[in-house]
Amino acid sequence: MTGQVALVTGASRGIGRAVSMKLAAAGVYVVATATTESGAAETIAAITAAGGRGEAVKLDVTSAEAVESLFKTIHTQQGRFDILINNAGITKDGLLVRMKDSDWDAVLDTNLKGAFHCLREASKIMTRARYGRVVNISSVVGEMGNPGQINYCASKAGLIGLTKSAARELAKRNITVNAVAPGFIETDMTAVLTEKSRESLLLNIPMERLGSVDDVAHAVSFLASPASGYITGQLLSVNGGMYM
């Protein structure tokens, strides 16, 4: 993977940062994006300190124009583009009967439409190069549902459909498109759980622990590598056996 170029959205922390660092450790030049340049800059600082290479970019994935401009810049400056990791995501939780249209739209626009924007631009470059790796970060709740997260679950389920359809379209160009569905992972989102909630959650996880961001990064890195060349359209669950 040395010399390849990747874009990782939502790279300021958690899974996005772990994936960025894993790819950089494999020799990939990582373009780390976030809604603030400072957040992505922290990820690149960690990558640089570990001997890797990359750059931080502020990106609003809901803006088709911003995404198109960034991909053109990357291709012009780097001369290639090989890997897309669609990780950007937000939550605006609430019960169905109380959910505002604005909360539904915001989550779908970022989590699903944002991934579509990036995939569309990436596929233009990858199709000409006849090579590419795309990994979309879905979620276990996109498979099983979760009360109070109807917008988030819909967006993550949508990513699975996006993955399977794009995989069929792009396979003949040697472009693989896969998804990873993390279970409950030790991140800022799960850090707010009460001890009682955590204990209840662990009862449903056969491995009896929450996953780590590195557990997810290992899976994503494999699907982003040349070693996964005959795997496409798949959903890889990283959930400790919580949902099979």
Catalytic residues, by residue number, are 152
* CB distance 177 to 166 below 8 Å: yes
What are phi and psi for residue 214, nearest 5 degrees?
Answer: -70, -35
Q: What are phi and psi of 167, to 5 degrees?
A: -60, -40
What is the spatial distance between Cα 137 and Cα 122, in angstroms, rounded to a whole number?
A: 16
Q: Where are the alpha helices (DSSP H) in the chain?
A: 14-25, 37-49, 64-78, 101-108, 114-129, 140-144, 150-170, 188-191, 195-202, 213-223
Residue 149, phi then psi, degrees to nearest 5: -135, 40
Closest among 19, 87, 2 to 53, alpha carbons compared: 2
Under DSSP, the state recorded for 68 is H
Helix H or strand E segment including 227: none
Joined together, the tokens standing for residue 196 give 């009682």
DSSP 26: T
Query: Two tokens at 173?
Result: 């160009």
